């Protein structure tokens, strides 16, 4: 989930702590990361470290530091007249805190429409992408097992495979023999029938307890999909208001359908094998991030790094990625040979670790914000 990183600087320590605490509690599902400072020099030192900041709330009595390109500065003013007359975005500090926060976010949304749209989804359906920069790492096995484990937690889940050559049939099935490939036609035509077609074309696997589209392999169809068409399908699934989670299973390309899926996602589960190839490709991807998305750290903020095929010892140094590892999925020797659906979705050791990741990455993120101080 994309979090809004707010830094507050004010010399009034009591006010500073009250405001920071209120914003944290407003973000009951961890939508805000709050850091606060009472000294100008401490703020400057923090910013020089290159920490990402979305909103800087700063008292008008404090000199505004040299800011990052994507940082949005809002002045905290003591005088209501100054708020109305200043050329910079500003808010009156002595209004009700709930109204103050609303005004702050209103100013931010005006500047960043995408952030506002994603934040509005925070209490609704969450979108998770599963991606790896290289193939053969067990990404789809992870994505489908993840879908089933979420369903076992009483969640409503939709799984959508967007790989050029999808393998959905290895994992999910139902008794309906009609494929769901038509969904792409209705997305391409921007048809008003898309929502009704989603209802008709979605399938349900009773074993995995997951809804999905039964899409026949058609590489040309997938290669012709645009980012806008993926956005329409995702928004159509959201409009059904039927799901707690939408799982998007992506292939290793940087086709625009994959980039749009990542952009739409709240969290990207970045799956790497326990080798040196994945970290190298991941580092290259992050170095090119600004070319793909127009700014840096768009994806890094959402990424949850998962090591698959783990045998107890890391074979490579992942520290240079500057990403915490959120889970270690075990190597399952039996999966090197053909397995049934039940065996691919029923390994206790594998799924115990998935449940651990769900508790750590998803449930923890829904319980509260992060509050840091730097006096």
Q: Which tops the pLDDT comparison, 21 or 26?
A: 21
CA-CA-CA-CA dihedral for 244, 249, 253, 254, to nearest 10: -10
Lowest mean pLDDT among 40-54, 237-251, 337-351: 40-54
Asked whether 8 and 22 are in contact (CB, 8 A), the reply is no
Phi and psi torsions of 147, nearest 5°: -60, -45
pLDDT at 204 over 70: yes
The rounded distance, in Å, linking the Cα atoms of 214 and 180 is 5
The rounded distance, in Å, linking the Cα atoms of 357 and 7 is 29
Phi-psi group of 57: left, alpha or beta (phi > 0 → left; psi -120 to 50 → alpha; rest → beta): beta
Cβ atoms within 10 Å of 318's Cβ, excluding its own: 19
pLDDT at 139 over 60: yes
Predicted confidence band of residue 68 (pLDDT cuts 50, 70, 90): low
Where do we find the tokens 């392999």? 217
pLDDT tens-digit profile of 302-339?
Answer: 899 999 999 888 877 787 788 889 999 999 998 988 78
Predicted confidence band of residue 29 (pLDDT cuts 50, 70, 90): very low
What is the edge-to-edge ordering of all strands in the sheet holding 210-213? 202-205, 210-213, 157-161, 245-249, 126-131, 267-273, 303-310, 325-330
Mean pLDDT of 275-303: 85
pLDDT tens-digit profile of 82-138?
Answer: 666 666 788 888 888 877 887 887 788 777 655 555 555 545 789 999 999 998 999
User: Mean of the per-residue pLDDT values for the chain?
Assistant: 84
**DSSP 8-class letter at 358:** I
Q: What is the pTM of this model?
A: 0.70
The rounded distance, in Å, linking the Cα atoms of 98 and 108 is 15
Asked whether 301 and 293 are in contact (CB, 8 A), the reply is no
Lowest mean pLDDT among 8-17, 52-61, 85-94: 85-94
Give pLDDT, residue 27. 46
Give pLDDT, residue 310. 93
For 42, residues 6+ apart whose C-beta sits below 8 A from its C-beta are: 374, 375
pLDDT tens-digit profile of 231-276?
Answer: 999 988 988 878 999 999 999 999 999 999 999 999 999 999 988 8
Q: Which tops the pLDDT comparison, 108 or 26?
A: 108
The rounded distance, in Å, linking the Cα atoms of 354 and 308 is 11
Cβ atoms within 10 Å of 77's Cβ, excluding its own: 21
Give the bridge partners for 34, in sequence order.
Answer: 6, 371
């Amino acid at each position: 989930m994309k979090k809004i990183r707010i830094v507050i600087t004010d010399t009034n320590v009591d006010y500073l702590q009250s405001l920071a605490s209120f914003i944290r509690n407003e973000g009951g599902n961890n939508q805000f990361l709050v850091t606060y400072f009472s000294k100008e020099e401490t703020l400057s030192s923090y910013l020089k470290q290159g920490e990402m900041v979305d909103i800087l709330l700063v008292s008008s009595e404090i000199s505004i530091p040299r800011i990052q390109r994507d940082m949005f500065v809002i002045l905290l003013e003591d005088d209501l007249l100054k708020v109305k007359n200043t050329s910079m975005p500003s808010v009156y500090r002595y209004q009700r805190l709930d109204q103050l926060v609303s005004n702050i976010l209103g100013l931010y949304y005006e500047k960043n429409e995408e952030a506002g749209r994603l934040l509005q989804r925070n209490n609704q359906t969450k979108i998770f992408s599963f991606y790896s920069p290289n193939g053969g790492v067990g990404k789809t096995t992870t994505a489908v097992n993840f879908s089933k484990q979420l369903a076992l937690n009483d969640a409503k889940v939709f799984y959508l495979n967007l790989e050029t050559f999808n393998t959905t049939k290895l994992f999910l099935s139902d008794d309906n023999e009609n494929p769901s490939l038509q969904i792409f036609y209705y997305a391409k035509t921007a048809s008003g029938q898309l929502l009704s077609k989603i209802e008709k074309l979605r399938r349900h696997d009773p074993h995995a307890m997951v809804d999905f589209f039964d899409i026949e392999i058609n590489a040309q169809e997938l290669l012709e999909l645009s980012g806008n068409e993926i956005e329409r399908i995702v928004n159509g699934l959201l409009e059904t208001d039927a799901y707690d989670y939408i799982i998007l299973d992506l292939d290793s390309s940087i086709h625009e359908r994959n980039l749009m899926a990542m952009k739409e996602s709240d969290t990207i589960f970045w799956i790497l094998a326990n080798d040196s190839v994945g970290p190298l490709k991941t580092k290259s991807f992050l170095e090119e991030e600004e070319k793909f998305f127009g700014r840096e750290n768009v994806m890094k903020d959402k990424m949850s790094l998962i090591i698959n095929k783990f045998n107890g010892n890391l074979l490579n140094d992942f520290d240079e990625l500057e990403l915490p590892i959120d889970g270690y999925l075990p190597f399952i020797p039996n999966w090197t040979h053909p397995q049934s659906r039940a065996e691919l979705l029923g390994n206790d050791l594998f799924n115990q670790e998935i449940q651990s990741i769900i508790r750590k990455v998803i449930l923890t993120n829904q319980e509260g914000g992060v509050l840091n101080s730097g006096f």
